[in-house]
Amino acid sequence: MEKTLVVVLGPTGVGKSDLSIRIAKEFSTEIISSDSRQIYRELSIGTAVPPQKDIEAVNHHLIHSHSITEYYSASQFEKEALAIIETLHKYKPLALMTGGSMMYIDALCNGIDELPTVDAKLRDELANEFKEFGIEHLRLQLKKLDPVYYEQVDLKNPKRLLHALEICMMTGKPYSLLRTKTIKQRPFRIIKIGLNRDREELYNRINLRVDQMIADGLEQEARSVYENRHLNSLNTVGYRELFSYFDGEISLEKAIELIKRNSRHYARKQLTWFRKDQAINWFHPDQEDEIVQWLKNELHE
């Protein structure tokens, strides 16, 4: 069998973990998480980290590997995940990656532009400006420095705005000019398995999962990191809504309602992104046996 990376992807709450455990056991391999929040060791409930029994059953990588106080990017994920895959391929022909973070999956499968390392002082200065003056301040700076990227970027995403401003200021050039989007060739075959459900079925699962997170102690977990709420690592669904509750802006019931709504919105955003990729082979999560057999056929064709 040639060296292969199998990528199990899909929207939040669809059921990627169960299939990944099955594939990992079937092919005697390990799992690399491509979830941009499961890397943080301070977060477990709100990021849906796999249960301990699954982590004990199959070795997982890039789960609880970093702190919320550390800067982390898709570029860093690309480097770390590639190093793990290279190590795994020394004694296992198949490596497995699972998750739903679109940028991380794209960075690993297609590569990401080589950009200069940002000066820590500049990063801190921009982060402090964001904290003090808000997101509109970032937007105005970016519109001035790179009007082209300003028209493309998600203007509600402070991480993207900060990253673009960092590069503009480090290089003196518009970030848009440095984004080549050249696809990098990997020294292994990539097989993508996408999971999806009917919308009503998926949304019901998401709502029930949020209820379970609350029952499992998500509110307490959010309180434990509340003092760091300004960090980008915590600007994520499940935490920012509870922070608004802690600040007295909304009720707990409203916060839970918003977590469910924003999780559903994120799932829709994920599916819109993934559907553009013609290389993805789509299945329903209940087709576990069929998926495993299909994968065996693909690997030995």
- For the stretch 204-260, pLDDT in tens is 999 999 999 999 999 999 999 999 998 889 989 999 999 999 999 999 999 999 999
Same domain, 133 and 76: no
Same domain, 295 and 249: yes
Same domain, 273 and 150: no
The neighbouring-strand residues paired with 7 are 97, 192
Same domain, 171 and 196: no
Question: Residue 183 domain-assigned?
Answer: no
Contacts of 281-286 with CB under 8 Å at 24 or more apart are 281/191, 281/192, 281/193, 281/194, 282/194, 282/195, 282/196, 283/193, 283/194, 283/195, 283/196, 284/195, 284/196, 284/197, 285/10, 285/14, 285/15, 285/16, 285/18, 285/19, 285/195, 285/197
Q: What gap in Å lies between CA 293 and CA 290, rounded to an integer?
A: 5
Task: Identify the domain boundary among 133, 158, 178.
Answer: 178
Same domain, 208 and 281: yes
Question: Residue 164 domain-assigned?
Answer: yes
Question: Residue 135 domain-assigned?
Answer: yes
Same domain, 102 and 149: no
Confidence of residue 301 (pLDDT cuts 50, 70, 90): low
pTM higher than the cut 0.85: no
Question: Residue 277 domain-assigned?
Answer: yes
- For the stretch 4-54, pLDDT in tens is 999 999 999 999 999 999 999 999 999 999 999 999 999 999 999 999 999
- For the stretch 157-170, pLDDT in tens is 888 899 899 999 98
Provide the domain limits for residue 142.
120-178
Same domain, 195 and 61: yes
Question: Residue 67 domain-assigned?
Answer: yes
- For the stretch 115-174, pLDDT in tens is 777 788 888 899 899 989 999 999 999 999 999 999 988 898 888 899 899 999 988 889
Which residue is associated with the tokens 């570029």?
75
Same domain, 164 and 253: no
Q: Looking at residue 96, which CATH number applies to its domain?
A: 3.40.50.300
Length of the chain: 301
Q: Tell me how many domains the chain contains.
A: 2
Same domain, 164 and 193: no
Question: Residue 184 domain-assigned?
Answer: no
pLDDT at 175 over 80: yes
Same domain, 105 and 209: yes
Q: How far is CA 94 from CA 29, 39, 205, in A?
A: 7, 22, 30
Q: Looking at residue 173, which CATH number applies to its domain?
A: 1.10.20.140
Q: What gap in Å lies between CA 164 and CA 140, rounded to an integer?
A: 12
Same domain, 205 and 261: yes
Q: How far is CA 131 from CA 72, 128, 137, in A?
A: 18, 5, 10
Instruction: Give the pLDDT confidence score for residue 170 in this predicted structure.
Output: 86
Same domain, 146 and 27: no
